[in-house]
Structure 1
């Protein structure tokens, strides 16, 4: 059903574009596709990959262990779409490719959206698990799957632990569950629920809606966090609209905003620490004799693009960690839909008609 939906939407797009002669293919030429698939796969070729596991709340057991390109190809056949997948691309790799196409100094790509991941350019000789011939460039792209990072050093709280235990993938994607857009609003809900239960934050009774998982999505949290009105009207309106709490005091609204700030500050600082870890790995974390290559980091994802407080905190933290002198050599850029553009570019590079 999932792949039939994708193929169906693809068929609609093709039907709309074919009205223009600009997109008409020469006779006998098959359309080609770059397929961005933002889940962990075992990929042994450019145009195939076996799903390892789902993330971001997806759970389709019968797909695990199957080739996602083969499934999409079968779905396209069912929809009558004559198209070949020329490149299967993780979203971070796509963002890196799209960024590198525009700017040769792009060396890292980070996704901060519903989920989170990162990729970077590594020297082939620094990859111990690679045993094949090195590419001519001497470099390879590493898809980190950093969302699955876990460590005793991560500042996990009881809210993180219960969120993880209640998730569809307990014990996995721990880092992602602390920093990404799917989970920040749910962390807020869990904190508010405890404060309502134990400290009567919203009065003598706990609002029933507050018991519903994921009732507070991160875009709602962002709207409340960015409320700059004197009486925090947006916060009051969202609490009334989403949680059905008719009246809240200004003090209560300020408390909600402060909790938003604490959650976002932690998430953004952790994400910045992850970026610093990449810079350390590729040797771009200090000025050696005053020399360091310019490093551009392509950022993609709705959380980074739209949650201003999150983005500002991440950028300020990274500058704090690397210092003012090094900050002049490190640049973060927004790569809007970089993953889709990068996948198209990689598909073009691997076209059967090259």
Structure 2
């Protein structure tokens, strides 16, 4: 089992090489077998001197955040926000009305109204799912992931779908910019740290965006001068698993998922799926009667009951008898009494899958940074958000450790800064909305 989950340095070199090939093809033209490399129409770096208050929506895999962002003009900002847990019903059917209802609650509770002389509040919209953009305020949904399956949405403009719900619920808000969550994270980090070249989400899902030279984006039909943020949608890398360390446990998860055969890389990295891969691997050991005397539990037998948060508890359990692991297995998952050997085996499984996740994450980050080698001569910040980065044990440390091998010790130790852009996707949407709103006539 250990060999199957291993990500050696040689494997990472192969992944980086294939990643570069896929990036290059995706920048030239749309190809279902390559990374999407989506131009975002965001082509202005923040200066940190921007001021004003703007509304932002951040629709992620687990929560909807509604925010009022006040930019202070000195690289700092204030954030007023409210978080709403996305209901199973919203994920499957009435998402757009759910968003409108939550925004209405936020506006009412915080007594927010359109600016003087305007009928609507301008808003930035962070949409954390793959979209094909034809403009800064339009984005057609390419596919659902993260467990969403709202019908009659794929191929349609998510801004229009949301705006229509606002009108149905009489919400005085106009979406002026739509960005991916990674773009928002990048822009938030760049507001405080101008050397930010990349934004990454390591959370429920995973993805990244980075600054690319326009003359490298072959499929871009506009001006070739300057730079633009490109949304990689890197969860779609190597869906055929030609170079990824893909196991039978991944295949079992993939086969049962709503987007079978898609987002394979994401399913090996992100928080939504790691626990399920671990559950599959643990049950394989049970079936071989190697742990728990071959017995499982009703809870463990159900899909997605072994949460990735349990992995965090288990891998950080350094007690002599692995007491925290015992609690997870026996109290939370209702397994029969376990032995120390059982608990060590489960901890080893979690360690293998967690280590694979962070090494694959580092491989992708290094591949993107290496695609613009001229930037590595100066200081580089990478804005990162997400629960895996924030809470999974030693995730950040291991990102740095792997990066030293592939980006060079001198660069990583002296010029690379991984920066937590906490709640960054919402702030970044507000920054982009401010830029767009300043360029257009007020809506009266």
Which category describes the TM-score, using the shorter chain as reference length? Answer: over 0.9
Aligned mates of 1:249, 1:172 — CA distance in 2: 38
Which is further off, 216-225 or 139-148?
216-225
Deviation at 1:316, TM superposition (A): 1.5
1:126 and 2:212 equivalent?
no
* SS in structure 2 of the partner of residue 43 of structure 1: strand
Partner of 2:236: 148
- The question of whether the paired residues in 1 share the 8 Å contact of 2:196 and 2:383 is answered with yes
Aligned mates of 2:307, 2:386 — CA distance in 1: 16
Aligned mates of 1:337, 1:108 — CA distance in 2: 16
1:139 and 2:227 equivalent?
yes
Q: Runs of 4 or more off by more than 3 Å in structure 1?
A: none
Superimposed CA distance per residue, residues 105-125 of structure 1 (whole angstroms, 9 cap, x where no aligned partner): 000111100100011001111
* SS in structure 1 of the partner of residue 400 of structure 2: helix
Superimposed CA distance per residue, residues 171-217 of structure 1 (whole angstroms, 9 cap, x where no aligned partner): 10011011111111001100000101112411242323222110011
Give the alignment's Cα RMSD to 1 decimal.
Answer: 1.6
1:4 and 2:97 equivalent?
yes
Q: 1:141 to 1:63 in 2, by over 3 A?
A: same
Deviation at 1:224, TM superposition (A): 1.6
Partner of 1:317: 402
Partner of 1:336: 422
* SS in structure 2 of the partner of residue 211 of structure 1: coil
Aligned mates of 1:78, 1:101 — CA distance in 2: 35
Partner of 1:25: 115
Deviation at 1:321, TM superposition (A): 2.3
Aligned mates of 2:393, 2:177 — CA distance in 1: 33
Alignment of 1:243-322 (within 5 A): 243-284=333-374, 292-322=377-407
| Unaligned residue ranges in structure 2 (runs of 5+) | 1-93
Task: Using structure 2 for the length normalisation, give the TM-score.
Answer: 0.75
Aligned mates of 2:422, 2:120 — CA distance in 1: 28
Deviation at 1:220, TM superposition (A): 1.6
Task: Using structure 1 for the length normalisation, give the TM-score.
Answer: 0.93
| Unaligned residue ranges in structure 1 (runs of 5+) | 287-291
* SS in structure 2 of the partner of residue 312 of structure 1: helix
Deviation at 1:231, TM superposition (A): 1.8
Aligned mates of 2:374, 2:391 — CA distance in 1: 28
Q: 1:36 to 1:104 in 2, by over 3 A?
A: same
Aligned mates of 1:320, 1:308 — CA distance in 2: 21
**Among 201, 210, 226, the residue aligned to 1:111:** 201
Deviation at 1:285, TM superposition (A): 8.1
1:102 and 2:102 equivalent?
no
Deviation at 1:246, TM superposition (A): 3.9
How many residues are matched? 344
- The question of whether the paired residues in 1 share the 8 Å contact of 2:95 and 2:150 is answered with no
Partner of 2:107: 14
Deviation at 1:353, TM superposition (A): 5.3
Superimposed CA distance per residue, residues 82-109 of structure 1 (whole angstroms, 9 cap, x where no aligned partner): 1100110100111111111111100011
Q: 1:252 to 1:325 in 2, by over 3 A?
A: same
Alignment of 1:151-190 (within 5 A): 151-190=241-280
Aligned mates of 1:123, 1:285 — CA distance in 2: 12
Deviation at 1:60, TM superposition (A): 2.1
Aligned mates of 1:15, 1:39 — CA distance in 2: 28
Aligned mates of 2:268, 2:209 — CA distance in 1: 19
Deviation at 1:284, TM superposition (A): 5.0
Partner of 1:289: none
* SS in structure 1 of the partner of residue 219 of structure 2: coil
- The question of whether the paired residues in 1 share the 8 Å contact of 2:295 and 2:336 is answered with no
Alignment of 1:32-71 (within 5 A): 32-71=122-161
Superimposed CA distance per residue, residues 120-170 of structure 1 (whole angstroms, 9 cap, x where no aligned partner): 0011111111122235xx111110000000141111111111111111001
- The question of whether the paired residues in 1 share the 8 Å contact of 2:199 and 2:384 is answered with yes
1:350 and 2:436 equivalent?
yes
Aligned mates of 2:303, 2:114 — CA distance in 1: 48
Deviation at 1:24, TM superposition (A): 6.7
